[in-house]
Structure 1
Amino acid sequence: MIYRILTGVLCALVFAGAAQAQTTVFDSLTNRTSTSIPAATNTFMGQIFSVASPGSFLLSSFQVAIVNGTGTNFASTTTFRLRTQFYGAANTGASPVFSSPVGSTISVNFTNFAWTSGTFTTLTVNLGTPLLIPSTPTTNLGVVFNLQADTGAGFVSQDNLTVAVRGGGTNPAPLIGAFTGYTSPNYGYLRNASGRTDFNFDSTDARSIGVNSGLAFRLIAAAPEPSTLALSLLGVASAGGLLRRRRQG
Protein backbone atom coordinates (compact mmCIF):
# COMPACT_ATOMS: atom_id res chain seq x y z
CA MET A 1 0.00 0.00 0.00
CA ILE A 2 2.78 2.44 0.95
CA TYR A 3 4.57 1.59 -2.30
CA ARG A 4 1.49 2.37 -4.41
CA ILE A 5 0.87 5.66 -2.60
CA LEU A 6 4.49 6.80 -2.91
CA THR A 7 4.64 5.83 -6.57
CA GLY A 8 1.47 7.81 -7.27
CA VAL A 9 2.85 10.86 -5.48
CA LEU A 10 6.15 10.66 -7.34
CA CYS A 11 4.39 10.33 -10.69
CA ALA A 12 2.33 13.43 -9.92
CA LEU A 13 5.51 15.32 -9.10
CA VAL A 14 7.11 14.15 -12.34
CA PHE A 15 4.39 15.59 -14.54
CA ALA A 16 3.91 18.72 -12.46
CA GLY A 17 7.61 19.52 -12.39
CA ALA A 18 8.73 18.41 -15.83
CA ALA A 19 10.60 21.15 -17.67
CA GLN A 20 8.79 22.72 -20.60
CA ALA A 21 10.57 22.60 -23.96
CA GLN A 22 9.48 24.94 -26.74
CA THR A 23 8.65 23.73 -30.23
CA THR A 24 7.41 25.69 -33.25
CA VAL A 25 4.19 24.22 -34.64
CA PHE A 26 3.49 26.86 -37.30
CA ASP A 27 5.77 29.41 -38.98
CA SER A 28 4.93 31.58 -41.99
CA LEU A 29 7.06 34.41 -40.56
CA THR A 30 10.66 33.23 -40.85
CA ASN A 31 10.99 32.34 -44.53
CA ARG A 32 8.86 35.06 -46.15
CA THR A 33 10.60 36.87 -49.01
CA SER A 34 8.31 39.91 -48.97
CA THR A 35 5.73 41.51 -46.70
CA SER A 36 2.81 43.66 -47.83
CA ILE A 37 0.08 45.91 -46.51
CA PRO A 38 -3.31 44.32 -47.24
CA ALA A 39 -5.94 46.41 -48.98
CA ALA A 40 -8.55 48.09 -46.78
CA THR A 41 -10.79 47.24 -44.97
CA ASN A 42 -8.22 45.40 -42.88
CA THR A 43 -8.81 46.08 -39.19
CA PHE A 44 -9.51 42.37 -38.59
CA MET A 45 -7.31 39.79 -40.31
CA GLY A 46 -7.75 36.01 -40.28
CA GLN A 47 -5.97 32.86 -41.38
CA ILE A 48 -6.96 29.22 -41.88
CA PHE A 49 -4.03 26.90 -41.23
CA SER A 50 -2.83 23.53 -39.95
CA VAL A 51 0.10 22.78 -37.66
CA ALA A 52 3.20 20.70 -38.42
CA SER A 53 2.28 17.61 -36.39
CA PRO A 54 -1.50 17.52 -36.10
CA GLY A 55 -2.61 16.82 -32.57
CA SER A 56 -3.70 18.89 -29.60
CA PHE A 57 -0.99 21.22 -28.33
CA LEU A 58 -0.36 23.80 -25.61
CA LEU A 59 0.23 27.22 -27.16
CA SER A 60 2.76 29.07 -24.98
CA SER A 61 3.62 32.06 -27.19
CA PHE A 62 3.19 33.52 -30.64
CA GLN A 63 4.66 36.20 -32.88
CA VAL A 64 3.01 38.21 -35.63
CA ALA A 65 4.29 40.73 -38.19
CA ILE A 66 2.41 44.04 -38.13
CA VAL A 67 2.51 47.08 -40.39
CA ASN A 68 1.86 50.79 -39.98
CA GLY A 69 0.53 52.04 -43.29
CA THR A 70 -1.65 54.78 -41.81
CA GLY A 71 0.48 57.77 -42.79
CA THR A 72 0.87 58.59 -39.08
CA ASN A 73 4.19 58.43 -37.25
CA PHE A 74 3.22 57.20 -33.80
CA ALA A 75 5.12 58.66 -30.85
CA SER A 76 6.60 56.46 -28.12
CA THR A 77 3.76 57.55 -25.83
CA THR A 78 1.30 55.55 -27.96
CA THR A 79 -0.01 52.27 -26.56
CA PHE A 80 -0.80 49.49 -29.01
CA ARG A 81 -3.15 46.61 -28.25
CA LEU A 82 -3.07 43.28 -30.08
CA ARG A 83 -6.23 41.20 -29.73
CA THR A 84 -6.17 37.58 -30.89
CA GLN A 85 -8.81 34.86 -31.11
CA PHE A 86 -8.08 31.22 -31.99
CA TYR A 87 -10.61 28.79 -33.46
CA GLY A 88 -10.79 25.02 -33.66
CA ALA A 89 -12.67 24.83 -36.98
CA ALA A 90 -13.11 26.71 -40.26
CA ASN A 91 -15.40 26.39 -43.27
CA THR A 92 -14.54 28.59 -46.27
CA GLY A 93 -18.05 28.29 -47.69
CA ALA A 94 -19.84 29.38 -44.53
CA SER A 95 -20.64 32.76 -43.01
CA PRO A 96 -19.22 33.06 -40.45
CA VAL A 97 -16.11 31.20 -41.58
CA PHE A 98 -14.79 30.27 -38.13
CA SER A 99 -16.43 28.20 -35.40
CA SER A 100 -15.47 26.48 -32.15
CA PRO A 101 -13.58 29.37 -30.50
CA VAL A 102 -10.65 28.21 -28.37
CA GLY A 103 -10.58 30.13 -25.11
CA SER A 104 -11.42 33.82 -24.86
CA THR A 105 -9.91 36.68 -26.85
CA ILE A 106 -6.27 37.31 -25.88
CA SER A 107 -5.58 41.02 -25.36
CA VAL A 108 -2.05 42.35 -24.79
CA ASN A 109 -0.81 45.96 -24.64
CA PHE A 110 2.55 47.16 -25.99
CA THR A 111 4.09 50.46 -24.91
CA ASN A 112 7.20 52.61 -25.24
CA PHE A 113 8.05 52.26 -28.90
CA ALA A 114 7.76 54.85 -31.63
CA TRP A 115 6.47 53.56 -34.96
CA THR A 116 7.12 55.25 -38.28
CA SER A 117 4.53 54.99 -41.02
CA GLY A 118 5.43 52.60 -43.81
CA THR A 119 7.41 50.22 -41.59
CA PHE A 120 6.90 46.72 -40.27
CA THR A 121 7.68 45.21 -36.88
CA THR A 122 7.04 41.96 -35.01
CA LEU A 123 5.10 41.57 -31.77
CA THR A 124 5.65 38.67 -29.36
CA VAL A 125 2.94 37.48 -26.98
CA ASN A 126 3.92 35.16 -24.11
CA LEU A 127 1.00 33.41 -22.45
CA GLY A 128 1.16 33.08 -18.68
CA THR A 129 -1.08 30.03 -18.92
CA PRO A 130 -0.63 27.94 -22.10
CA LEU A 131 -3.74 27.64 -24.27
CA LEU A 132 -4.81 24.10 -25.17
CA ILE A 133 -5.66 24.02 -28.89
CA PRO A 134 -7.31 20.82 -30.16
CA SER A 135 -6.15 19.58 -33.55
CA THR A 136 -6.42 16.47 -35.73
CA PRO A 137 -4.87 15.53 -39.11
CA THR A 138 -7.97 16.91 -40.87
CA THR A 139 -8.44 20.03 -38.75
CA ASN A 140 -8.55 23.51 -40.27
CA LEU A 141 -7.57 25.78 -37.40
CA GLY A 142 -8.20 29.51 -37.42
CA VAL A 143 -6.77 32.69 -35.94
CA VAL A 144 -8.00 36.30 -36.08
CA PHE A 145 -5.90 39.36 -35.22
CA ASN A 146 -6.97 42.94 -34.47
CA LEU A 147 -4.47 45.75 -33.78
CA GLN A 148 -5.49 48.99 -32.08
CA ALA A 149 -3.73 52.21 -31.06
CA ASP A 150 -4.34 54.60 -28.17
CA THR A 151 -2.84 58.06 -28.63
CA GLY A 152 -4.65 59.43 -25.59
CA ALA A 153 -8.34 59.13 -26.45
CA GLY A 154 -8.78 55.37 -26.03
CA PHE A 155 -8.07 52.35 -28.19
CA VAL A 156 -9.16 52.65 -31.82
CA SER A 157 -8.99 50.22 -34.75
CA GLN A 158 -8.00 51.88 -38.00
CA ASP A 159 -7.32 50.69 -41.52
CA ASN A 160 -3.70 50.01 -42.47
CA LEU A 161 -2.68 49.55 -38.83
CA THR A 162 -2.84 45.81 -39.13
CA VAL A 163 -1.22 42.42 -39.56
CA ALA A 164 1.11 42.07 -42.53
CA VAL A 165 0.49 39.64 -45.38
CA ARG A 166 2.99 37.63 -47.40
CA GLY A 167 2.52 36.08 -50.81
CA GLY A 168 3.24 36.38 -54.50
CA GLY A 169 6.65 36.51 -56.16
CA THR A 170 9.07 34.02 -54.65
CA ASN A 171 7.30 33.55 -51.32
CA PRO A 172 7.53 29.85 -50.39
CA ALA A 173 5.03 27.83 -48.41
CA PRO A 174 5.17 28.31 -44.62
CA LEU A 175 8.37 26.96 -43.10
CA ILE A 176 6.40 24.89 -40.59
CA GLY A 177 2.75 23.91 -40.91
CA ALA A 178 0.60 24.92 -43.87
CA PHE A 179 -1.94 27.42 -45.13
CA THR A 180 -5.18 25.50 -45.70
CA GLY A 181 -8.80 26.05 -46.62
CA TYR A 182 -8.19 27.67 -49.99
CA THR A 183 -6.84 26.33 -53.28
CA SER A 184 -3.13 25.66 -53.80
CA PRO A 185 -0.79 27.29 -54.77
CA ASN A 186 -2.20 30.71 -53.86
CA TYR A 187 -4.17 29.80 -50.70
CA GLY A 188 -5.25 33.07 -49.06
CA TYR A 189 -6.24 34.97 -45.94
CA LEU A 190 -9.30 36.85 -44.66
CA ARG A 191 -9.83 40.56 -44.09
CA ASN A 192 -13.04 42.20 -42.91
CA ALA A 193 -14.11 43.64 -46.28
CA SER A 194 -17.69 42.85 -45.21
CA GLY A 195 -17.32 45.23 -42.26
CA ARG A 196 -17.52 42.57 -39.55
CA THR A 197 -15.80 43.42 -36.27
CA ASP A 198 -16.75 40.32 -34.25
CA PHE A 199 -13.52 38.37 -34.82
CA ASN A 200 -15.10 36.46 -37.69
CA PHE A 201 -15.67 36.79 -41.43
CA ASP A 202 -18.12 36.22 -44.23
CA SER A 203 -17.08 33.72 -46.87
CA THR A 204 -16.65 36.62 -49.33
CA ASP A 205 -13.90 38.14 -47.14
CA ALA A 206 -11.22 35.78 -48.53
CA ARG A 207 -8.34 37.42 -50.39
CA SER A 208 -5.09 36.39 -52.13
CA ILE A 209 -2.11 38.35 -53.49
CA GLY A 210 -0.46 35.48 -55.35
CA VAL A 211 1.31 32.23 -54.58
CA ASN A 212 1.41 31.18 -50.90
CA SER A 213 -0.68 34.11 -49.69
CA GLY A 214 -1.30 34.37 -45.98
CA LEU A 215 -0.57 36.19 -42.75
CA ALA A 216 2.96 36.26 -41.33
CA PHE A 217 2.99 34.69 -37.86
CA ARG A 218 4.59 31.98 -35.74
CA LEU A 219 3.12 29.70 -33.04
CA ILE A 220 5.20 28.16 -30.25
CA ALA A 221 3.97 25.19 -28.21
CA ALA A 222 5.10 23.93 -24.82
CA ALA A 223 5.97 20.25 -24.42
CA PRO A 224 7.52 18.20 -21.58
CA GLU A 225 11.28 17.92 -21.97
CA PRO A 226 11.92 14.22 -22.83
CA SER A 227 15.25 14.02 -20.96
CA THR A 228 13.75 15.52 -17.81
CA LEU A 229 10.78 13.18 -18.01
CA ALA A 230 13.04 10.15 -18.48
CA LEU A 231 15.23 11.05 -15.50
CA SER A 232 12.18 11.64 -13.33
CA LEU A 233 10.69 8.29 -14.27
CA LEU A 234 14.03 6.64 -13.49
CA GLY A 235 13.82 8.21 -10.04
CA VAL A 236 10.35 6.73 -9.53
CA ALA A 237 11.61 3.27 -10.52
CA SER A 238 14.59 3.56 -8.18
CA ALA A 239 12.38 4.61 -5.28
CA GLY A 240 10.09 1.65 -5.93
CA GLY A 241 13.04 -0.75 -5.98
CA LEU A 242 14.32 0.63 -2.68
CA LEU A 243 10.93 0.12 -1.05
CA ARG A 244 10.78 -3.48 -2.26
CA ARG A 245 14.24 -4.23 -0.86
CA ARG A 246 13.27 -2.76 2.51
CA ARG A 247 10.11 -4.84 2.66
CA GLN A 248 12.03 -8.01 1.75
CA GLY A 249 14.69 -7.28 4.37
Structure 2
Amino acid sequence: MKILKNSLIILLFTFFGCSSDQSNLDIIIEEQNNSIYQTNSVATYSLEEVLNGMRKWDSLRINRDALLYYFESNNAFNLDMSQFPQGSALHAYACILNGELKFAVISEIYDKEIYQDSLINHIKIVDLHYADIVELTEQTYESYTFPLPTQYIQAADAINRIKDWNTNYANWLKETILIYQGFHMPTYSLTAQNYTVYFGLKNNIENPAVKAADLVFDNNNGLFYDSMRAYPPLVDETKRYFVLELI
Protein backbone atom coordinates (compact mmCIF):
# COMPACT_ATOMS: atom_id res chain seq x y z
CA MET A 1 0.00 0.00 0.00
CA LYS A 2 2.87 2.37 0.88
CA ILE A 3 4.50 1.68 -2.48
CA LEU A 4 1.19 2.42 -4.18
CA LYS A 5 0.88 5.76 -2.33
CA ASN A 6 4.43 6.75 -3.26
CA SER A 7 3.78 5.88 -6.89
CA LEU A 8 0.62 7.96 -6.86
CA ILE A 9 2.44 10.95 -5.35
CA ILE A 10 5.21 10.71 -7.96
CA LEU A 11 2.60 10.52 -10.70
CA LEU A 12 0.80 13.61 -9.40
CA PHE A 13 4.04 15.60 -9.14
CA THR A 14 4.99 14.54 -12.65
CA PHE A 15 1.58 15.54 -14.01
CA PHE A 16 1.49 18.94 -12.33
CA GLY A 17 5.15 19.54 -13.14
CA CYS A 18 4.48 18.93 -16.83
CA SER A 19 1.37 21.10 -16.67
CA SER A 20 3.38 23.86 -15.04
CA ASP A 21 6.11 23.56 -17.70
CA GLN A 22 3.52 23.76 -20.45
CA SER A 23 1.89 26.78 -18.81
CA ASN A 24 5.25 28.49 -18.57
CA LEU A 25 5.93 27.65 -22.21
CA ASP A 26 2.56 29.09 -23.22
CA ILE A 27 3.34 32.28 -21.31
CA ILE A 28 6.75 32.60 -22.99
CA ILE A 29 5.25 32.08 -26.44
CA GLU A 30 2.51 34.64 -25.72
CA GLU A 31 5.10 37.16 -24.50
CA GLN A 32 7.17 36.58 -27.65
CA ASN A 33 4.14 37.11 -29.84
CA ASN A 34 3.21 40.26 -27.95
CA SER A 35 6.77 41.50 -28.47
CA ILE A 36 6.66 40.78 -32.19
CA TYR A 37 3.37 42.58 -32.67
CA GLN A 38 3.96 45.45 -30.27
CA THR A 39 2.97 48.58 -32.19
CA ASN A 40 2.95 51.39 -29.65
CA SER A 41 5.94 52.41 -27.61
CA VAL A 42 5.71 51.24 -24.00
CA ALA A 43 6.58 54.77 -22.92
CA THR A 44 3.99 57.53 -23.04
CA TYR A 45 4.79 60.97 -24.38
CA SER A 46 3.23 64.39 -24.20
CA LEU A 47 2.46 66.30 -27.37
CA GLU A 48 5.32 68.69 -26.67
CA GLU A 49 7.74 65.76 -26.29
CA VAL A 50 6.62 64.39 -29.65
CA LEU A 51 6.97 67.82 -31.28
CA ASN A 52 10.45 68.22 -29.77
CA GLY A 53 11.31 64.80 -31.18
CA MET A 54 10.16 65.94 -34.61
CA ARG A 55 12.23 69.12 -34.29
CA LYS A 56 15.25 66.99 -33.37
CA TRP A 57 14.75 64.87 -36.50
CA ASP A 58 14.27 68.00 -38.60
CA SER A 59 17.59 69.37 -37.38
CA LEU A 60 19.32 66.11 -38.28
CA ARG A 61 18.01 65.87 -41.83
CA ILE A 62 20.94 67.91 -43.15
CA ASN A 63 23.50 65.75 -41.31
CA ARG A 64 23.68 62.63 -43.47
CA ASP A 65 26.41 60.97 -41.41
CA ALA A 66 24.44 61.38 -38.20
CA LEU A 67 21.40 59.76 -39.82
CA LEU A 68 23.34 56.57 -40.49
CA TYR A 69 23.33 55.86 -36.77
CA TYR A 70 19.55 55.60 -36.67
CA PHE A 71 19.26 53.22 -39.63
CA GLU A 72 22.14 50.85 -38.92
CA SER A 73 20.00 48.61 -36.74
CA ASN A 74 16.49 49.47 -38.00
CA ASN A 75 14.74 48.49 -41.21
CA ALA A 76 11.14 47.86 -40.19
CA PHE A 77 8.30 48.49 -37.77
CA ASN A 78 4.93 46.95 -36.93
CA LEU A 79 1.70 48.82 -37.57
CA ASP A 80 -1.66 47.70 -36.24
CA MET A 81 -4.26 49.16 -38.61
CA SER A 82 -7.08 48.31 -36.19
CA GLN A 83 -5.87 51.26 -34.08
CA PHE A 84 -6.82 53.77 -36.76
CA PRO A 85 -10.01 54.72 -38.65
CA GLN A 86 -10.41 52.38 -41.59
CA GLY A 87 -9.95 53.63 -45.14
CA SER A 88 -8.36 56.95 -44.19
CA ALA A 89 -4.72 57.78 -44.93
CA LEU A 90 -2.14 58.00 -42.16
CA HIS A 91 0.54 60.59 -41.55
CA ALA A 92 3.74 59.15 -40.08
CA TYR A 93 6.11 61.77 -38.66
CA ALA A 94 9.73 60.85 -38.00
CA CYS A 95 10.89 61.86 -34.52
CA ILE A 96 13.76 61.23 -32.13
CA LEU A 97 12.53 60.13 -28.70
CA ASN A 98 14.85 58.90 -25.96
CA GLY A 99 17.68 58.91 -28.49
CA GLU A 100 15.85 56.54 -30.86
CA LEU A 101 14.18 57.08 -34.23
CA LYS A 102 10.44 56.45 -34.00
CA PHE A 103 7.32 57.39 -35.95
CA ALA A 104 4.42 59.39 -34.59
CA VAL A 105 1.46 58.07 -36.59
CA ILE A 106 -1.92 59.78 -36.82
CA SER A 107 -4.93 59.43 -39.09
CA GLU A 108 -5.40 62.35 -41.47
CA ILE A 109 -8.91 62.62 -40.00
CA TYR A 110 -7.42 63.96 -36.76
CA ASP A 111 -4.38 65.76 -38.15
CA LYS A 112 -6.26 69.04 -38.13
CA GLU A 113 -6.37 72.20 -36.07
CA ILE A 114 -9.83 71.46 -34.68
CA TYR A 115 -8.30 68.49 -32.81
CA GLN A 116 -5.35 70.44 -31.42
CA ASP A 117 -6.40 69.97 -27.79
CA SER A 118 -6.70 66.19 -28.20
CA LEU A 119 -4.00 65.47 -30.79
CA ILE A 120 -1.88 63.34 -28.49
CA ASN A 121 -4.85 61.01 -27.92
CA HIS A 122 -4.85 60.15 -31.63
CA ILE A 123 -1.08 59.73 -32.08
CA LYS A 124 0.49 56.27 -31.84
CA ILE A 125 4.24 56.16 -31.22
CA VAL A 126 5.74 53.33 -33.26
CA ASP A 127 9.10 51.74 -32.46
CA LEU A 128 11.53 50.61 -35.14
CA HIS A 129 13.44 47.34 -35.18
CA TYR A 130 15.57 45.15 -37.44
CA ALA A 131 13.76 42.36 -39.31
CA ASP A 132 15.70 39.57 -41.01
CA ILE A 133 14.20 38.98 -44.47
CA VAL A 134 15.68 35.52 -45.05
CA GLU A 135 12.29 33.87 -44.52
CA LEU A 136 10.67 36.29 -46.97
CA THR A 137 13.18 35.49 -49.69
CA GLU A 138 12.87 31.71 -49.23
CA GLN A 139 9.08 31.54 -49.61
CA THR A 140 7.09 30.84 -52.76
CA TYR A 141 4.40 33.41 -53.53
CA GLU A 142 1.29 33.33 -55.64
CA SER A 143 0.60 36.13 -58.09
CA TYR A 144 -2.70 37.98 -57.73
CA THR A 145 -4.65 40.50 -59.73
CA PHE A 146 -6.84 42.95 -57.83
CA PRO A 147 -9.24 45.53 -59.29
CA LEU A 148 -7.76 49.00 -59.67
CA PRO A 149 -7.03 51.11 -57.79
CA THR A 150 -4.99 48.82 -55.56
CA GLN A 151 -1.91 49.12 -53.39
CA TYR A 152 -1.00 45.46 -53.96
CA ILE A 153 2.43 44.81 -55.46
CA GLN A 154 3.99 41.55 -56.56
CA ALA A 155 6.14 39.78 -53.97
CA ALA A 156 9.25 39.85 -56.17
CA ASP A 157 8.98 43.62 -56.56
CA ALA A 158 8.34 44.11 -52.84
CA ILE A 159 11.28 41.97 -51.77
CA ASN A 160 13.60 43.66 -54.26
CA ARG A 161 12.70 47.05 -52.79
CA ILE A 162 13.40 45.79 -49.27
CA LYS A 163 16.70 44.21 -50.34
CA ASP A 164 17.69 47.42 -52.08
CA TRP A 165 17.18 49.37 -48.86
CA ASN A 166 19.11 46.86 -46.75
CA THR A 167 22.03 46.99 -49.19
CA ASN A 168 22.05 50.62 -50.25
CA TYR A 169 20.44 52.74 -47.51
CA ALA A 170 23.78 54.36 -46.63
CA ASN A 171 24.35 55.49 -50.22
CA TRP A 172 20.75 56.69 -50.45
CA LEU A 173 21.16 58.83 -47.33
CA LYS A 174 24.26 60.46 -48.82
CA GLU A 175 22.92 60.98 -52.35
CA THR A 176 19.24 61.79 -52.03
CA ILE A 177 18.26 65.43 -52.44
CA LEU A 178 15.72 65.54 -49.59
CA ILE A 179 15.56 63.52 -46.40
CA TYR A 180 11.91 63.10 -45.49
CA GLN A 181 10.11 64.53 -42.47
CA GLY A 182 7.51 61.81 -42.71
CA PHE A 183 5.21 59.74 -44.88
CA HIS A 184 1.69 60.08 -46.22
CA MET A 185 0.31 56.54 -46.22
CA PRO A 186 -2.89 55.65 -48.11
CA THR A 187 -4.69 52.68 -46.59
CA TYR A 188 -7.56 51.89 -48.97
CA SER A 189 -6.28 48.36 -49.63
CA LEU A 190 -5.35 47.61 -46.03
CA THR A 191 -7.50 45.87 -43.44
CA ALA A 192 -7.77 46.11 -39.65
CA GLN A 193 -4.81 43.87 -38.85
CA ASN A 194 -1.14 44.00 -37.95
CA TYR A 195 1.38 44.61 -40.75
CA THR A 196 5.14 44.37 -40.81
CA VAL A 197 6.30 47.51 -42.59
CA TYR A 198 9.74 47.46 -44.22
CA PHE A 199 11.84 50.32 -45.47
CA GLY A 200 12.46 50.04 -49.20
CA LEU A 201 13.94 51.83 -52.18
CA LYS A 202 12.27 52.13 -55.57
CA ASN A 203 12.95 53.93 -58.82
CA ASN A 204 12.33 57.66 -58.62
CA ILE A 205 10.20 58.71 -61.59
CA GLU A 206 11.29 62.36 -61.40
CA ASN A 207 15.00 61.61 -60.94
CA PRO A 208 16.03 58.09 -62.08
CA ALA A 209 19.58 58.71 -60.84
CA VAL A 210 18.36 58.74 -57.22
CA LYS A 211 16.15 56.09 -55.64
CA ALA A 212 13.02 57.10 -53.74
CA ALA A 213 12.33 56.05 -50.16
CA ASP A 214 9.52 53.55 -49.86
CA LEU A 215 7.53 51.58 -47.32
CA VAL A 216 6.46 48.01 -48.10
CA PHE A 217 3.55 46.61 -46.10
CA ASP A 218 3.63 42.83 -45.50
CA ASN A 219 0.37 41.30 -44.24
CA ASN A 220 2.41 38.33 -42.95
CA ASN A 221 0.36 36.02 -45.16
CA GLY A 222 1.95 36.39 -48.57
CA LEU A 223 0.57 39.78 -49.69
CA PHE A 224 2.52 43.01 -50.06
CA TYR A 225 1.36 46.60 -50.48
CA ASP A 226 3.00 49.84 -51.56
CA SER A 227 1.66 52.53 -49.30
CA MET A 228 3.45 55.82 -48.98
CA ARG A 229 4.58 59.15 -50.31
CA ALA A 230 7.45 60.87 -48.55
CA TYR A 231 7.38 64.57 -47.71
CA PRO A 232 8.69 67.08 -48.36
CA PRO A 233 7.47 67.92 -50.88
CA LEU A 234 3.80 68.01 -49.93
CA VAL A 235 2.42 67.06 -53.32
CA ASP A 236 -1.23 67.19 -52.35
CA GLU A 237 -1.74 70.63 -50.83
CA THR A 238 -5.42 69.85 -50.17
CA LYS A 239 -4.36 67.49 -47.38
CA ARG A 240 -3.61 69.16 -44.07
CA TYR A 241 -0.56 68.22 -42.06
CA PHE A 242 -1.38 70.23 -38.96
CA VAL A 243 1.19 68.50 -36.76
CA LEU A 244 3.94 69.71 -39.13
CA GLU A 245 2.75 73.27 -38.66
CA LEU A 246 3.32 73.01 -34.92
CA ILE A 247 7.07 72.47 -35.20
| TM-score (normalised: structure 1) | 0.22
Higher relative contact order (CA 8 A, sep 6+): 1
Structure 1 or 2: more strand by fraction: 1
| TM-score (normalised: structure 2) | 0.22
